[in-house]
Amino acid sequence: MDSIERVKSAVADAIDNYNAASKKKINIVLFEDALRMLCKINRIMGSPFGHALLIGLGGSGSHTLTRLATFMQDYTIYEIEMEKDFSTQEWLDFIRDMLRNIVLKSQSGVFLISDA
């Protein structure tokens, strides 16, 4: 896009669509650095075999921007919530189900895992 204002407007529309379709609402301030990061994440997701490791302080918005980019690309998000009693078998079942959906059903997906 030719201007940051057009990008901001398109992302604001995407956030509205996401919030209308999802239980987890996105509430994020669209400042220029966040828009640039969202564009980078979108570009990575759009490239064949794209992958990224996002490192940053908690609360910086990488998690939220990744969820938004996944929605914008119309991908399935696979996000795991680990708890104290999370077993190895549960981990293997999650990975197996995720890979089954991505490989056998030819779905595009994002595996989002947090350090917490």
All structural domains of the chain: 4-112 (3.40.50.300)
Q: What is the rounded average pLDDT of the residues 67-89? A: 86
9 CB neighbour count, 10 Å cutoff? 13
Question: Token pair of 59, please?
Answer: 């609360």
> What is the Cα–Cα distance from 37 to 53, expressed in whole angstroms?
13
pLDDT-based confidence at residue 116 (cuts at 50, 70, 90): low
Contacts of 40 (CB under 8 A, 6+ apart): none
Q: Which amino acid is at 83?
A: E
> What is the Cα–Cα distance from 71 to 33, expressed in whole angstroms?
20
pLDDT-based confidence at residue 110 (cuts at 50, 70, 90): confident
pLDDT-based confidence at residue 85 (cuts at 50, 70, 90): confident
> What is the Cα–Cα distance from 80 to 84, expressed in whole angstroms?
13
Report pLDDT for 19. 93
pLDDT-based confidence at residue 106 (cuts at 50, 70, 90): confident
pLDDT-based confidence at residue 103 (cuts at 50, 70, 90): confident
